[in-house]
Amino acid sequence: MSTPPSGVTPTGLDAVLAHLDRLRTLNAQSGNNLAVKRRLLDLYFAADASILDAGCRVEPLLIPTRGRQVIAAERVRPDDVDLASGRRLLYLHGGSWMAGSPASHRPLTARLARACRAEVIAVDYRLAPEAPFPAGLEDCLDAWQWLCDSYPQGSLLLAGDSAGGNLTLACLNVLKQEQRRMPDAAMAFSPATDLNWESDSLHRKARVEAILDPDLLPLISQFYLGPTPAAKTDDPRVSPLEGDLTGLPPTLIQCGEAEILLDDSRRYAEQAQQSGSPVTLSLWDDMPHVFVGFAPLLAPANRALEEIAEFADTHLGT
């Protein structure tokens, strides 16, 4: 990856950090009002009008799940990309397992669709605390099975950011254990991989972290798992780092070096590589949480999308 000269602030970074600082301040002022916190997170990528103008077509759809239920999703297609390749990407949004939606992450999913030359299906999985673990993970796995059944001959990708990155890597653990079809490639952006919260960067990077509060992470785990947890934090479905990381598909992990989840990415990638899995770790100087979603305003985000495009072409064929 290319980086600006030492001491030069990357184009767009000041605006992104100012936006995240405002969101963090408003989030603190919202107290325990979960509805307000969710609305604030819906604006996570709204640092500039250029980010929100993603240029895509969106089609609502319903995905069948276990128990004869359905979940909402949306199909995202860029206006200017030929999708004849047959690639499809299932996207799992972030939001601390308690917030976020396909709509909040549309600026990112549209640009991933363009970079990967793929149709993106973004899943509106159930959220905690109303629906604690394993509800959200089950929805993601059901959506993946629907995608496999619907397009058995196509090239299929799985990706997510933050909590959605956690769900992405947790899905890989479950799919491998149950000997189900794995993605042809996977991507995780700033994923949470250890819900015991034992990464050194939680404290080492706290001073430069733009949005996440390390002191609140254990509480988020409690909300996610619920009052009567169906699993412990060392369960591989909860903390992907605890899984058997052999036999994984090609996986790209992108993470900023100015975020407290840095070592979650680093530890997972190192363990996967030591287990013989083709996991690539891409770290970016000075970048905040899920920085790739701030394209085209943020210059490194644009380069991260180029890296994603190269990754997809390498592992799915041109």
Q: Which pLDDT belongs to residue 318? A: 64
Of 19, 105, 289, 315, which residue is the catalytic one? 289
pLDDT digits (tens, 9 = 90+) for 192-218: 999 999 999 999 999 999 999 999 999
pLDDT digits (tens, 9 = 90+) for 9-25: 999 999 999 999 999 99
pLDDT at 4 over 70: no
Q: Hey, where are the domains in the chain?
A: 24-316
- What span, in angstroms and rounded, lies between the C-alpha atoms of 45 and 186? 22
Task: Tell me, yes or no, if 30 is annotated catalytic.
Answer: no
In our burial notation (b when 16+ CB lie closer than 10 A, e otherwise), range 185-201 reads: bbbbbbbbbbbebebeb
- What span, in angstroms and rounded, lies between the C-alpha atoms of 159 and 109? 10
Mean per-residue pLDDT, 111-137: 97
Mean per-residue pLDDT, 242-253: 98
Sign of the alpha-carbon dihedral angle for 197, 202, 203, 206: negative
pLDDT digits (tens, 9 = 90+) for 103-120: 999 999 999 999 999 999
Q: Which pLDDT belongs to residue 86? A: 87
Place of tokens 């363990």: 271
Q: Which pLDDT belongs to residue 107? A: 96
User: Whole-prediction pTM value?
Assistant: 0.96
Task: Tell me, yes or no, if 315 is annotated catalytic.
Answer: no
Which CATH architecture does the domain made up of 24-316 adopt?
Answer: 3-Layer(aba) Sandwich (3.40)
Task: Tell me, yes or no, if 259 is annotated catalytic.
Answer: yes
Which tokens belong to 126? 């159930």
Of 85, 101, 104, 162, which residue is the catalytic one? 162
Of 259, 265, 277, 282, which residue is the catalytic one? 259
